[in-house]
Every structure is written in C-alpha cells, then in structure tokens.
C-alpha cells in the first residue's frame, strides 16, 4: 500500500514538474530564466520600500502614496518605450544603460529620504525609478524563439515564467516589509544587489538572445522600417491564407501593430489591474475595521500561493481546449470571484475566495502571454508584452485612486462596491472584444513567421 502511494506521488510529481525540469535542462535556459526573476525584484519590493521608508522618516502616508503612484505611472509610461527599444536595438544594448540609470536613482532616493530632503527632491527622483528593463517580456521572448513551432512546450515555458513570477511576488512583499522596517538603506541595497546579480546572469547569456530588428534588417539588406513593413505584409498574408476574413475587422488592421485583438487585450488588462488594486486597498480597509489588519499579508499570500499552484498545474497539461475559451473562463472566474467580496462578512471568507479563485489568476496571465504570440509580429513581441504590463499598471493606479475615494466616504463597503463595479465592467469590456480575440487565436502563431 505504501509503495503504491509513493509511486503515485512520484508519478504526479513527474507529470507536474517533469516538463519544467526538461525546459530548464536545455542548454543556457536556466541561467536566463532564473536571472530574469532575480533582476525583477524591484517590482514587488520598491513600492512597499518607498511607502515604509517615507512614512518612517516623514511620518506622512499621503506623501508615501503619492510617490508610489508616481513611480507606478512612470513605469507604465516607460515600459512600452523600453520594450520598443529592446526589439529595435537588442536586449543587452538597452538594458545596460537602463540599469545604470536605475542604480543612480535608487541611491539618490535612499540618500534623500534618510537625509529628510525637501519633498520636491523626492518627487524629482522617483520617476527615474521606472528605469527597469522589461525582464519578464525579454525572458518570454527568448523562450518563444527557442521553442518556435512547439506549441506544447511554449505553453509550458510561459507557465514556468508565470510560476517564477509568482515566487518573486510571494517572496518579495514580505521581504520588503521586513527589510524596510529594519532600514530603508538595507532594503534598497538588497534590491540593488538583486538587480546586478540577475542582470549579469541574464545579459551574459548571449546565445539565447533574440536578434534585434537592426540585426535582422541588416542581414536582409534593409532598413529597420523596410524590414518591419515586410514582416507586417508577411503576417497579413499568412492570416489571409490560413484564416479567411470573418468580419471581425482584423484584416484591415493586420498590417499595423495595433490590431483590434491587441486593443481588446490591452483594455482588458487595464480593467484587470483596476479591480485587483481596488480589491487590495479595500481588503486592508475591511481588515482595519475588523481590527485584523495584521492578517492582511496572510490573505494576500493565500492568493499568491493559490496562483502559484494554478500556474504549476496549468503548464503541466497539454490543453486541447481552444486558447480563447481558456482565456475567458479563467478571466470570468477571477473577475466574478473578486466581485463577490462585497458579500463577505469577515476576512476569512475573503481568504477562502482568494484560495479558490487564485488557481485561475496565473493561468489568466499565461493565456494573455500566449495571445501575444498571435497578435504581434515576433520582432515586436517585447513591445507587445510591455504594453500589456503598462495598461495593467495604469489600471492599478486608477483602481486604487477610485477605491480610496469611496473608502473615505463609505468605508470598506464602499470600496467593495467599486471593486464589484470594476470587475463586472472589466469582464463586459473583455467580452466586447470576444470576436477579435477569438479570431486572433484562430490565426497562425505569428512568432513562427520567418521573413
């Protein structure tokens, strides 16, 4: 009996982790995959570190909130620009100067905070903290290039990226809280070390770096503009040959970067960021009203842990269900689940809902990443991923601001009313783009195009 149970556990472990282990055993892949996650530590840590450090030295939550909002908005603006530059000039050429700017900005900010500099100095420095290379998008770009033509392993690689991202968030938030309470200098120093170590691991791995548009154009004897036009025409021809026009309007936009499907996904990601950030601030307010604020970190950790489990199992299976159906199912579970928070009578009910719906959180992002393989040409994949992240960040800032106003007027219940309205509105907007997204997933994967 014991041997049968052990064999069963080993079989499940092999089915879940075997595919991921196979990917990481490929030459050079573990180095860039893990390096990108280590270098991404500023994402979960910087905002919380700024908040705690500013509140400690200035005693002002308003200033801390304003600075983190500016940093988030600056990141949303800069990310697509950096994504476009990476696609045009290459990952290493863009990342090195960007990292230098971030390191100077972080050292300047921590010095200004500890020296209790005038507030305008902090406002002037914080936007430069957005100089973070799009590590996640660059890592996914490498995976899609390495696994071109292998849909099953590409899906698993994107799931692996989602798993590693969730690990980063699960570790980053509590670590930032602990270090920032001890010392803001220590928290920023640790983040800086992570950036340097991760960047060295990622950028020194040259064999897996995708060629830039400059390299591809030079090899074809064309300018970058001519190469991009040629690639867009080939993508349009491939769509027209393999998938007849279904009246979605995609054909008209097929030679432009901003297709109807891409717009639909980006607007959906804006809504996703809006209601999830509104939920976060509303849960904190709800827990404070119930005198359970010390447990909010545990509630959020449950969501991240559930999402991590969802990513593990989602990537382990070779799905036969069409991508667009999986996308809308996972999106509906997350939206409706979080939208039900307004009916919760205690914090533990919210925690249970988070545990149940969290398994669809990471798969929603993985499906969004896979949609990009159909929506944008390969030479602009990093830019497309950056736009998704930017729209999510802008939505997060908007959602927090709207929910904050409602909480000030009506308490946590007002915040949850906003969450429900944003979640249902986001889902409705996503279904408005159903025809475009469905049509896009029925076209060939554009990353398979070789011009």
Is 445 exposed, middle or buried (CB count within 10 Å of its CB: 0-12, 13-18, 19+)? middle
In a domain, 1, yes or no: no
Same domain, 25 and 120: yes
Quote the CA–CA distance of 21 and 106 in Å, as a whole number.
Answer: 36
Rg (CA), the chain: 22
Same domain, 448 and 308: yes
pLDDT at 68: 75
In a domain, 65, yes or no: yes
In a domain, 2, yes or no: no
E-assigned strand segments in 194-288: none
Residues of the chain with pLDDT under 70: 1-17, 44, 48, 60-62, 65, 170, 172-174, 176-178, 180-181, 184, 235-257, 294, 443-451
Same domain, 251 and 149: no
In a domain, 216, yes or no: no
Q: State the angle between helix axes of 135-146 and 29-39 in degrees (0 to 180), rounded to the nearest 10.
A: 160
In a domain, 329, yes or no: yes
CATH at residue 343? 1.20.1250.20
Instruction: Give tens-digit pLDDT for 31-81.
Output: 999 998 888 877 767 776 777 778 778 876 567 767 877 887 888 888 888
- Whether the Cβ atoms of residue 167 and residue 290 lie closer than 8 Å to each other: no
Quote the CA–CA distance of 341 and 108 in Å, as a whole number.
Answer: 41
Quote the CA–CA distance of 18 and 11 in Å, as a whole number.
Answer: 10
Quote the CA–CA distance of 67 and 378 in Å, as a whole number.
Answer: 36
Q: How would you label 261-276 residue by residue, b for 16+ Cβ within 10 Å and e otherwise?
A: bbebbbbbbbbbbbbb
Spatial CA neighbour of 356 closest among 343, 344, 368, 338: 338
Same domain, 252 and 106: no
Domain count, the chain: 2
- Whether the Cβ atoms of residue 35 and residue 202 lie closer than 8 Å to each other: yes
In a domain, 221, yes or no: no
Same domain, 196 and 269: no
Same domain, 47 and 151: yes
Q: Look up tokens 């497309």; give the residue.
A: 384
pLDDT at 244: 43
Q: Is the pTM value of this prediction over 0.85?
A: no
Report residue 125: phi and psi, to 5°. Answer: -85, -40
Q: How would you label 231-242 residue by residue, b for 16+ Cβ within 10 Å and e otherwise?
A: bbebbbebbeee
Same domain, 258 and 187: no
pLDDT at 156: 81
What sections of 115-223 are H helices per DSSP? 119-125, 135-146, 151-182, 184-203, 213-220
In a domain, 6, yes or no: no
Same domain, 27 and 174: yes
State the residue range of the domain holding 110: 14-205
Instruction: Give tens-digit pLDDT for 284-307.
Output: 788 878 887 767 777 877 888 888
């Amino acid at each position: 009996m014991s041997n049968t149970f052990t064999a069963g556990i080993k079989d499940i472990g092999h089915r879940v982790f075997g595919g991921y282990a196979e990917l990481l055993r490929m030459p050079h892949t573990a180095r860039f995959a893990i390096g990108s996650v280590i270098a991404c530590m500023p994402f979960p840590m910087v905002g919380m570190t700024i908040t705690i450090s500013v509140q400690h030295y200035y005693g002002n939550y308003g200033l801390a909130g304003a600075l983190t909002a500016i940093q988030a908005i600056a990141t949303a603006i800069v990310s697509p620009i950096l994504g476009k530059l990476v696609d045009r000039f290459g990952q290493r050429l863009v990342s090195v100067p960007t990292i230098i700017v971030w390191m100077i900005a972080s050292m300047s900010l921590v010095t200004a905070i500890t020296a209790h500099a005038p507030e305008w100095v902090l406002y002037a420095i914080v936007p430069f903290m957005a100089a973070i290379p799009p590590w996640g998008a660059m890592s996914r770009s490498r995976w899609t290039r390495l696994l071109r033509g292998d849909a099953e392993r590409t899906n698993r690689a994107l799931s692996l990226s989602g798993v590693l991202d969730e690990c980063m968030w699960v570790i980053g938030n509590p670590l930032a809280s602990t270090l920032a309470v001890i010392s803001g200098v220590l928290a920023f120093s640790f983040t800086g070390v992570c950036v340097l170590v991760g960047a060295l691991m990622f950028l020194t791995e040259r064999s897996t770096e995708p060629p830039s548009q400059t390299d591809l154009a030079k090899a074809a004897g064309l300018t970058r503009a001519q190469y991009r036009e040629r690639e867009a025409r080939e993508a349009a021809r491939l769509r027209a040959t393999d998938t007849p026009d279904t009246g979605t309007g995609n054909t008209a936009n097929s030679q432009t970067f901003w297709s109807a499907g891409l717009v639909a996904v980006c607007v959906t990601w804006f809504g996703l960021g809006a209601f999830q950030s509104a939920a976060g601030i509303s849960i904190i307010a709800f827990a404070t009203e119930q005198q359970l604020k010390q447990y909010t970190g545990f509630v959020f950790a449950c969501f991240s842990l559930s999402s991590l489990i969802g990513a593990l199992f989602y990537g382990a299976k070779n799905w036969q269900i069409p991508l667009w159906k999986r996308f809308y199912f996972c999106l509906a579970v997350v939206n409706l689940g979080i939208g039900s928070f307004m009916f919760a009578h205690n914090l533990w009910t919210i925690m249970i809902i988070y545990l149940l719906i969290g398994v669809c959180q990471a798969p929603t992002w993985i499906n969004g990443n896979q949609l990009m393989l159909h929506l944008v040409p390969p030479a602009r994949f990093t830019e497309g991923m950056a736009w998704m992240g930017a729209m999510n960040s802008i939505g997060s800032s908007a959602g927090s601001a709207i929910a904050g106003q409602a909480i000030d007027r009506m308490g946590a219940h007002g915040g949850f009313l906003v969450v429900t309205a944003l979640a249902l509105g986001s889902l409705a907007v996503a279904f408005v783009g159903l025809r475009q997204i469905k049509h896009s997933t029925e076209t060939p994967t554009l990353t398979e195009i070789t011009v």
